Amino acid sequence: MTATLLPGLTDTEVRAALGTVVDPELDEPITDLGFVRSVSVEGATVEVHLRLPTSFCAQNFAWLMASDAQEAVAAVPGVERVVVELDDHSDSDLINRGLAAAAGYRGTFGHEAEESLDELRATFHRKAHTAAMERALTALLRADRSRTEADLPEVRLRDLPADEPTTDALLRRRATLGLPTHGDAPVLVTDDGTRPSPQQSSLLLRRARSVRISVDGNAHFCRGLLATRYPGAEADQAPRPDPDPVHPDPDTHPLLPLEVLS
């Protein structure tokens, strides 16, 4: 959609703000996923339309993304009024009215609402950290084939490739959880920063790999659903990296047993 732009407030700025909004389950910006259907800028008013892969995506996820989008755009300098609408969802009318009235999640859904979305958001922050940790360690194994999985409990943040996107992503996830981001900090830790015992390390790594595979698989599935529901939507989706970064040598880096994925 072509936007009407005024000096000081641009479509690019609005989309950049929307790029900070992350799908809580898929751990990707809604702009990369193609969930932003349109952006219109007229004067100091911004109108954003969002779309999701199905009409029955969970109402709490839908609300999180729509309300986060509203807050992100409202924070853009020059914006005085924000209208965010979720299209073609089973709860679109209810969500859109709630956003317009600034009713909040509980005020919008009443007795159907959970006590708070804070714990749900925290759960997905922890899940995102676990997946990012596995991606970063896998990238290290790819970059340094002298290392094996047995070496990973001793890996520190300073050992990760500095120019690797997975390293930056892990540091952001750690910062969100309040985990240390200095170079001496161990990479393989639980969500509260506890360093596992040697016996626990293998289990933690396997769990992290199963979480990462689940997140990546869901992301690709949802992208496909969106493109099926809205033909042409794939043009709005950013390319994803290799969804299954398996280790280079199956003898030293065995693949995750299927039973772990169940």
- Is the pLDDT assigned to residue 106 strictly greater than 50? yes
CA angle, 72 then 167 then 15, to 5°:
25
From-to residues of CATH 3.30.300.130 in the chain: 11-112
d(CA 100, CA 66): 11
Residue 28: its pLDDT value, please?
A: 93
Give yes or no for a contact between 109 and 94, defined as CB atoms under 8 angstroms apart: yes
pLDDT category, 117, cuts 50, 70, 90? confident
- What pLDDT, in 10s, does the model give residues 31-67? 999 999 999 999 999 999 999 999 999 999 999 999 9
**Mean per-residue pLDDT over the chain, rounded:** 88
pLDDT category, 152, cuts 50, 70, 90? very high
pLDDT category, 244, cuts 50, 70, 90? very low
Give domain 11-112's CATH architecture: 2-Layer Sandwich (3.30)
The set of residues, in sequence order, having a beta carbon less than 8 Å from that of 259 and lying 6+ positions away, is: none
Residue 118: its pLDDT value, please?
A: 86
- Determine what percent of the chain is predicted with pLDDT higher than 90: 77
d(CA 187, CA 207): 15
Give yes or no for a contact between 19 and 29, defined as CB atoms under 8 angstroms apart: yes
Higher pLDDT, 246 or 126: 126
Q: Is 101 exposed, middle or buried (0-12, 13-18, 19+ CB in 10 A)?
A: exposed
Q: Give the helix ranges, DSSP H, for the chain.
A: 11-18, 30-33, 59-74, 92-100, 104-109, 118-143, 165-177, 198-229
